[in-house]
A and B are shown apart, each in its own frame.
Chain A
Amino acid sequence: MTAAPPLLEVRDIHHAYRLPRERLFAPPPLVQALSGVGFEIAAGRSLGIVGESGSGKSTLARIVMALDTPTAGSVRLLGQDLHALAPGALRAARRDFQMVFQDPYGSLDPRRTVARTVAEPLAAQGHASRAEQHERALEALAEVGLRPTDGSKYPHEFSGGQRQRIAIARALVTRPRLIVADEPVSALDVSVQAQVLNLLQDLRERLGLSYLLISHDLAVVQHLCDEVAVLHQGRIVERGTPAALFGHAQHPYTRALVDAVPAMVV
């Protein structure tokens, strides 16, 4: 389809983890979290992963972000296998992919100012001076609609929606190509959700970002993503455009998910 390689290529991911030993001489039980998960994201396009608890979506997010190593399979960003990189090279590669977490209250260190938190990805890269980091952190805050004076405040002085904006600013500061967002709006009120969703849309159009959006909320995924994959018990059971998937779902699980959304009609 496109001549250039895809931005993100996830191939045949398997991941199992061990539970604590139940019996002294028997091997510990294994939980298969992901089985054969694979997908691609082209530059500038966005993919949504829909799943409920136990589907493995959080594990998938961590594997794509190279925070955990899969039992098998590969994750390639811009052609590089993230899990095969040396630590230094991986750190440098992280400039191109960043993450936004679900909990606006937990994802910011309460003892650091907002500016320092937003600058953290730059600090980890190690190239920019302190002054430059601060400068770019304030730029990022402006992009998400916050003021430069907000940089010297602490997280507890902000509301949930504002904190999520700060988390987004942190994800933007290294000018990444890909943002992995794990339930970015689930913890927010409806009216605040709308503001943050609009922001995410703005950023996508303005900066040409790609999102890997993980959510249990079908409407949110439909709103932001060009393609959707449904994850069920560690496997992708169906994928397609939002219209196709949510309009005429083929797989019974997808249909169950769509039916379960309470319609806003009496």
Chain B
Amino acid sequence: MLEVSDLHIHLPTRRGMAEAVRGVDFTLARGGTLGLIGESGCGKSLTALALMGLLPEGARATGSIRFEGQELLGQSDRALQRLRGNRIAMVFQEPMTALNPVHPIGHQVAEPLRLHRSLGAAEALRAAVALLDRVGIPDAARRARDYPHQFSGGQRQRITIAMALACGPDLLVADEPTTALDATVQRQILRLIQELVAERGMALLLISHDLGVIAQNVGRMLVMYGGSVVESGPTAEVFSAMRHPYTRGLFAARPRLGQPLGPGQRLPTIAGTVPELADLPAGCPFAGRCAWTQQRCHTERPEATVLHDGHEVRCLRPEAMA
């Protein structure tokens, strides 16, 4: 259903155009769940925005994004508007800013229906109330008239999910949907998303920086660093056999509940810091920070090495991690 090939995104920076996404490929079938994990600046949010055609001013995307056979890159904004909120929907990190504070929530949830399905106001509102009920807003009919500030953070995120689902999209993109929420609420929201995805046969692209969230919620995953996908595959596969040094570093750097370190011990860290976009090495983006760096890592871009069962890694020395 969704095929992304060789996606490159260039961004204007203070030092000229820099490549923020460097050749990303992935596919997503109907009903499939894919997770994108990475830290700040890896390009995961940009990739998601490119799907919706919502890249920032001055950004340039090349490659191919095919949605149901239709090429999305290069389409006019009007054509993309017909898809947004309709066939492809997005849920963002900050529920407070995603909702307009001066409109009642019923109105906002009904908006995609009025826009894309040309429903009348009353009919759209009825459908909106049903959606609000489904996402777990108690007393939906009455609360549809309330304003965003009258709801808690978790409830607001439920409302944005309802808005995203209004037109029954084929693909739901969720960019860090629970990062701003408390852990107990996070669990409920992720469970809600899973239920809805299964119920409606949607595809889900879930973006997160949290390995735990990825582990528990998606069937396949992509690990991004410096604009490239450094490791990908079925989640269970990747977690049981991490083959990229960055993936391992990420996994090891997180303090684990129930596994405290001794007094002299320290958390294993990844040496150095993420370089600015313009300073990324020409070869493997992780060159220099990686403990196994060789000379050629700085200049040669690694191709994807296929391990088994759809598990791929981009490293010039995959045998070092075996």
Binding site for B on A (CB under 8 A): 52-53, 159-162, 189-195, 197-198, 201-202, 205, 216, 218-220, 222-223, 242-243, 246-247, 256-266
Q: Which residues of B contact A160 (CB under 8 A)?
A: 40
Out of B186, B215, B235, B274, name the residue touching A263 (CB < 8 Å): B215
Q: Across the interface, do A194 and B182 meet the contact criterion of CB distance under 8 Å? A: no
- Distance in angstroms from B65 CB to nearest chain A CB is 27
Q: Across the interface, do B40 and A257 meet the contact criterion of CB distance under 8 Å? A: no
Given A52-B184, A159-B273, decide whether A198 and B267 contact each other with a Cβ distance below 8 A: yes
Q: How far is the CA of A161 from the CA of B39 in the complex (A)?
A: 13
Q: Across the interface, do B267 and A194 meet the contact criterion of CB distance under 8 Å? A: yes
Is B16 part of the binding interface, using a Cβ–Cβ cutoff of 8 Å?
Answer: no
Q: Across the interface, do B235 and A266 meet the contact criterion of CB distance under 8 Å? A: yes
Q: Across the interface, do A266 and B184 meet the contact criterion of CB distance under 8 Å? A: no
Q: Please, could you name 28 A-B residue pairs with CB atoms under 8 Å apart, sorted by A?
A: A52-B183, A53-B182, A159-B274, A161-B273, A189-B39, A189-B40, A190-B253, A191-B249, A192-B39, A192-B273, A193-B253, A194-B255, A198-B266, A205-B263, A218-B183, A218-B257, A219-B254, A222-B257, A222-B258, A223-B255, A243-B260, A260-B187, A261-B212, A261-B257, A262-B216, A263-B212, A264-B212, A264-B215
Q: Which of B184, B249, B250 has the most CB of A within 10 A?
A: B184
Q: Across the interface, do B257 and A194 meet the contact criterion of CB distance under 8 Å? A: no
**Extra A-B contacts (18), CB below 8 Å, given A189-B274, A190-B254, A257-B184:** A52-B184, A194-B270, A195-B269, A216-B183, A218-B183, A219-B254, A219-B257, A223-B255, A223-B261, A259-B187, A260-B187, A261-B212, A262-B212, A262-B213, A263-B212, A264-B212, A265-B215, A266-B239
Out of A52, A194, A205, name the residue touching B253 (CB < 8 Å): A194
Q: Across the interface, do A262 and B215 meet the contact criterion of CB distance under 8 Å? A: yes
Q: Which residues of A contact B3 (CB under 8 A)?
A: none
Q: Across the interface, do B251 and A264 meet the contact criterion of CB distance under 8 Å? A: yes
Q: How far is the CA of A162 from the CA of B250 in the complex (A)?
A: 19
Q: How far is the CA of A202 from the CA of B240 in the complex (A)?
A: 32
- Distance in angstroms from B140 CB to nearest chain A CB is 23
Q: Across the interface, do B183 and A222 meet the contact criterion of CB distance under 8 Å? A: no
Is B211 part of the binding interface, using a Cβ–Cβ cutoff of 8 Å?
Answer: yes
Q: How far is the CA of A197 from the CA of B266 in the complex (A)?
A: 9
Q: Which residues of B contact A197 (CB under 8 A)?
A: 255, 267
Q: Which residues of B contact A202 (CB under 8 A)?
A: 266
Q: How far is the CA of A223 from the CA of B268 in the complex (A)?
A: 13
- Distance in angstroms from A221 CB to nearest chain B CB is 9
Q: Across the interface, do A265 and B239 meet the contact criterion of CB distance under 8 Å? A: yes
- Considering only CB atoms and an 8 Å cut-off, how many residues of chain B contact the other chain? 40
Q: Which residue on chain A has the smallest CB distance to residue B289?
A: A191
Q: How far is the CA of A256 from the CA of B256 in the complex (A)?
A: 17
Q: Across the interface, do A246 and B273 meet the contact criterion of CB distance under 8 Å? A: no
Q: How far is the CA of A44 from the CA of B270 in the complex (A)?
A: 29
Q: Which residues of B contact A53 (CB under 8 A)?
A: 153, 182
Q: Which residue on chain B has the smallest CB distance to residue A256?
A: B184
Q: Which residues of B contact A256 (CB under 8 A)?
A: 184
Q: Across the interface, do B215 and A257 meet the contact criterion of CB distance under 8 Å? A: no
Is B143 part of the binding interface, using a Cβ–Cβ cutoff of 8 Å?
Answer: no
Q: Which residues of B contact A219 (CB under 8 A)?
A: 254-257
Q: Which residues of B contact A222 (CB under 8 A)?
A: 255, 257-258, 260
Is B210 part of the binding interface, using a Cβ–Cβ cutoff of 8 Å?
Answer: yes
Q: Which residues of A contact B258 (CB under 8 A)?
A: 222, 246-247
Q: How far is the CA of A261 from the CA of B269 in the complex (A)?
A: 22
Q: How far is the CA of A53 from the CA of B153 in the complex (A)?
A: 10
Q: Across the interface, do A220 and B183 meet the contact criterion of CB distance under 8 Å? A: no
Out of B153, B210, B239, B251, name the residue touching A262 (CB < 8 Å): B210
Q: Which residues of B contact A159 (CB under 8 A)?
A: 273-274
Q: How far is the CA of A201 from the CA of B211 in the complex (A)?
A: 24
Q: Which residues of A contact B307 (CB under 8 A)?
A: none
Q: Which of B190, B263, B266 has the most CB of A within 10 A?
A: B266
Q: How far is the CA of A197 from the CA of B239 in the complex (A)?
A: 24
Given A219-B256, A258-B257, decide whether A191 and B270 contact each other with a Cβ distance below 8 A: yes
Given A189-B39, A190-B250, A266-B215, decide whether A246 and B182 contact each other with a Cβ distance below 8 A: no
Q: Which 10 residue pairs of A and B lie closest in terms of their CB atoms, listed nearest first?
A: A262-B212, A194-B253, A189-B39, A52-B182, A260-B183, A223-B255, A219-B255, A194-B267, A266-B236, A194-B269
Given A205-B263, A219-B255, A266-B236, decide whether A190 and B209 contact each other with a Cβ distance below 8 A: yes
Q: Which residue on chain A has the smallest CB distance to residue B249?
A: A191
Q: How far is the CA of A242 from the CA of B212 in the complex (A)?
A: 20
- Distance in angstroms from B252 CB to nearest chain A CB is 8
Q: Across the interface, do A242 and B260 meet the contact criterion of CB distance under 8 Å? A: yes
Q: Which of A160, A191, A194 has the most CB of B within 10 A?
A: A191
Q: Which residues of B contact A194 (CB under 8 A)?
A: 253-255, 267-270
Q: Which residues of A contact B39 (CB under 8 A)?
A: 189-192
- Distance in angstroms from B283 CB to nearest chain A CB is 21
Q: How far is the CA of A261 from the CA of B186 in the complex (A)?
A: 9
Q: How far is the CA of A258 from the CA of B267 in the complex (A)?
A: 21
Q: Which of A194, A222, A258, A266 has the most CB of B within 10 A?
A: A266
